[in-house]
Structures are given as structure tokens and as C-alpha cells.
Amino acid sequence: MTDAPTLLWLRQDLRLADNPALHAAGAGRVLPVFVLDDAAAGRWATGAAARWWLHHSLARLGAALAERGAPLLLLRGDARRVIPALAARTGAAAVHAGRHHAPWARARDAAVAGALQAEGRRLELHEGALLVEPERLRNGQGRPYAIYAPFARAVMALGEPAPPLPAPRRLNGIKPPEAGLKLDELGLLPRRAWAAAFPDFWTPGEAGAQARLRGFLEDAAGDYDRGRDIPGEDGTSRLSPHLHWGELSPRQVWHAAAPHSGPQGGRGTFLREILWREFSHHLLWHRPELPEQPLRRTYASFPYQPDRALLRAWQRGRTGYPIVDAGMRQLWRHGWMHNRVRMIAASLLVKQLLQPWWDGAAWFWDTLVDADLANNSANWQWVAGCGTDATPYFRIFNPVLQGRKFDSGGAYVRAFVPELARLPDRWLHEPWSAPAPVLREAGVVLGRDYPAPAVAPESGRARALAALRGMKAAE
DNA sequence: CGGCCATTTCA
DNA sequence: GAAATGGCC
């Protein structure tokens, strides 16, 4: 069976370059396959915005693979059944796939490996989604790192990751035993016009990822230390959705960014952001309860006050806090929110509005094109104060001060909250404080054109600290 | 990857 | 009296 074909099972590694699974499978006759598998993912099935991305990414990947002689087979169903069945029909000796570290994916891969093995075939999982595999990194006590700073130091101390693999020029594809589904038949695109503006901001697919990486390193990376915190500027890399779907590997990013500078300066800061992604993924690997349970167990008794109306006001960008509302509306329109504003918006929901962090996480999961179980869960726990390396609960963002500091010219708020556009900078981040003549001049009636604050500015912080004391008393 | 407030420092 | 500093929540 030396000429037995192999399956290349693509999941979250939708690229040709630096793809170890493709590299291994592409040595012989190969059938690339993608399976839309919502069953195994359960409640963490890909959210609506990420599905939009996936649709377009698969379109580009399918074209690139077909060009090289191995068209992509699209299927839907439970991969625990679909992959072994396809392997049997093609007579494949091996299935190659990139490692996928989410808890549900680990369980699924174990089941697939078992089913294949029972028929004398094998599942080969390849590295490449992370810079360092989670099993490989331990602290002085032999335990996984729980704090970011020593984690990042340890990763940096490992030195350069291996150089990226080239993309194959030609592939020896086999004829699939079935026609599979057309891309449209996967039903990934939203029915409503919600995502209509996404194409103005994103180019899913490997070429778009490379273009974005090069553009960022040429334009914004040098000023990243400052620019990354200004939501009104295009100062971040915006690589997160590309990284989530594996259109780009972290070691490709590393090797593209590192040559330009040492550990200091904009590129060093940028690489440390890439390490936050790495840290979140390691955390999820070692603490699979991360999406569901607070890592600090005392927070299980935190007295959240679930309120559907408050949650909805936050989701729709109608909290009455301009910087937060701008962020929530950016999220709805672009499928993405600037990182600085994510922190402010999340902090307001959890601390001032006393809404459960998992409700916020669920909304982000459905609306972010970069929704990623590790990053999303870890960062929400960080904001909520219940993560291992979390911001202390009493560290409560003041949305007015944050707005003044990071959107001082008001470009961001004016872009997404047009009803406040004519307010002068002085009052833009706290319209409730503006004198009546100023509001009149700007054509704003609070409560009609723009909501009054969902929680009174002077009481939000006190409420949050009172709730924290409530939790400690309940221990 | 804070904010608040008391206190100090310097114009 | 504004701006910087430091302890505490």
C-alpha cells in the first residue's frame, strides 16, 4: 500500500504556506477535506460572524488547492463518523491534521483516532498552531505557567521558532469518492444583511492575511507602542481573525516581525501581544474549564445581577457611555472591536452593570469575526477579575477618563456614535455633564437622541466595590 | 494593560 | 494651585 492516499483534514489551519499537515500529506496522493462539524463543538460551535469569515476563507483556500491539483472536499456532519468513513472509502492509510487545542476538539480527535486505528489507519496531528506546544512548557515547580510575565519570559528564552515551511507548488490530488457540498450549501453566510459592511474591512484568506501582515509591519508597527491604544487610528495589526483560522501561523508572524528590531520598540510590543494569544491557548489547554468556570473559585459566588434589558442595551451600543457604545457599534458593523475598547466595554458590563462575564463572552462569541475560545474566555476572565493572572476586581475602568485619554480628539466616538458628533471634545465622553446650551447647540436631547447612562456615573464604581465585598462575605 | 484621594513638589 | 507621587481600594 505504498501508494495509498492520505486525507488532509483541514480545521483551523486554512493556509498552504507553513502548514506541517499539508507538508506531510502533500508528499503523496492527497484528498483535502473540510468538515463543518457543529455537533462535536456543542455550545462552542462557530459563531455567526466567524462563520461569515469561514465561508470566505474556504472559498480562497478551495481555489488555491484546486489550482495546485487537489480540490477541497466540503462536507458537513459529525467528524467522528465522517472522517473515518471517508478514510475507508478512499483507502487512505493516514489522516493528517493540524493540532486543534480546544477541549471539545481534543475529545473529538481522540475519538477519530480510535475509530481510524480500529481499521488499521492512523490520525497524525501536526504542530504549527502555536509557537510552543502546551505540554512542553513548565515553570520551576514543574507546573504550567499561570502568570503571563514569566510565561512570556520563558517563551522568549526558547529563542526563535523554526523557520516556516514553504507552500507546495503542486499537489497530487485524488478524485473524491463523492461530490461533497457546494460552499453555499454549508449555509455559513448570515441570512440578513448584517454582515454587509464586513468586506469593506476584511479580506479573509491566506493572501489577505499576508497582505495585512506586510502592511502592518511597514506602516503601523513602528509606532505600535502608542498607536495600538488609539481606537480612532488603524494602529493595531488586525491579524486576529487570520490567526484564528490559521490563514497565518504564529511563527510566520514571528519571523516576519522579529528581524526588524530587538525586544524593545513597537515590534517587541507586538510580539508580546502574539504571546498573549499563546498564553491564552496554553491556559485553555491546562484548564479546560476556562470557558465555563471562574478560575478563581471564590468568584463562583459573585453576586451578579442578570438583567436582560441592561445586557441588551450594552449589546446594541445604548449604555449612554459614548466610548463603550462606539465600541459595541463597531463590533456590530465590522465584526471586530479595538482591543482597548474591548477592555473598557467589558469592564463596564461586568463591574458597573454587574452582568455575568459569560453573557458578555457569549455576545462576543457570536459577533466577533476573530472569536476564539481561548482568547475570548481568558480575556473575559481577566476583565472580570476571576482569571489566574487577572486584573484585580477593584481595578475599575472609568469610561470617561479612558475615553478622554485614548480618544481625546473624539474621532472614534464620532465615527460610530454620529448623534453625538457635534458635541465639542470637552463633553463628548460625558454628554450628561454638558451644559444645556451646549447640548442644544449640538442638537442632542439626552434620553431622546442618545440614552442617559445605564448606571449613574457616580454610583457605578461604588456598586461594583459593594458587590465585591458581598462575594467575600459569602465565602 | 486603574482610579481615587491624600500628600508632596514645584511654579 | 497645578502636577507628580504613593498608598489603598
Same-domain status, A323 and A377: yes
Nucleotides of B under 7 A from a protein CB: 1-4
Alpha-carbon distances, residue A303 vs A159, A319, A327, A424, A457 (angstroms): 45, 21, 26, 38, 20
Residue A394's pLDDT is what?
84
Q: Which run of H or of E encompasses A202? A: none
CATH of the domain at A235: 1.25.40.80
In the structure, how far is the CA atom of residue A128 from the C1' atom of nucleotide C1, in angstroms? Answer: 59
Last residue of a domain, one of A128, A147, A180: A128
How many domains would you assign to chain A?
A: 3
Cβ within 7 A of any strand C atom: A 392, 394, 465
Does residue A409 lie within any of the structural domains? Answer: yes
Same-domain status, A109 and A134: no
Per-residue pLDDT tens digits for A121-135 = 999 999 999 999 999
Per-residue pLDDT tens digits for A350-387 = 999 999 999 999 999 999 999 999 999 999 999 999 99
CA distance linking residue A397 with residue A346, whole number of Å: 10
Residue A65 structural domain: 6-128
Given a cut of 70, whether residue A261 has pLDDT beyond it is no
In the structure, how far is the CA atom of residue A307 from the C1' atom of nucleotide B3, in angstroms? Answer: 26
Is A394 buried (19+), middle (13-18) or exposed (0-12) by CB count in 10 A?
exposed
Residue A256 pLDDT level (bands cut at 50, 70, 90): very high
E-state strands within A153-250 = 172-173
- Select the more confidently predicted residue: A234 or A262: A234
Given a cut of 90, whether residue A473 has pLDDT beyond it is no
Does residue A314 lie within any of the structural domains? Answer: yes
Does residue A327 lie within any of the structural domains? Answer: yes
Per-residue pLDDT tens digits for A429-461 = 999 999 999 999 999 999 999 999 999 888 888
Same-domain status, A60 and A155: no
Q: Model pTM greater than 0.85?
A: yes
The per-residue pLDDT of chain A, averaged, comes to: 94
Taking CA A403 as the corner, what is the angle to CA A402 and CA A409, rounded to the nearest 5 degrees?
Answer: 135
Instruction: Output the nine-digit C-alpha cell for A113.
Output: 483516532
Same-domain status, A55 and A150: no
Per-residue pLDDT tens digits for A133-162 = 999 999 999 999 999 999 999 999 999 999
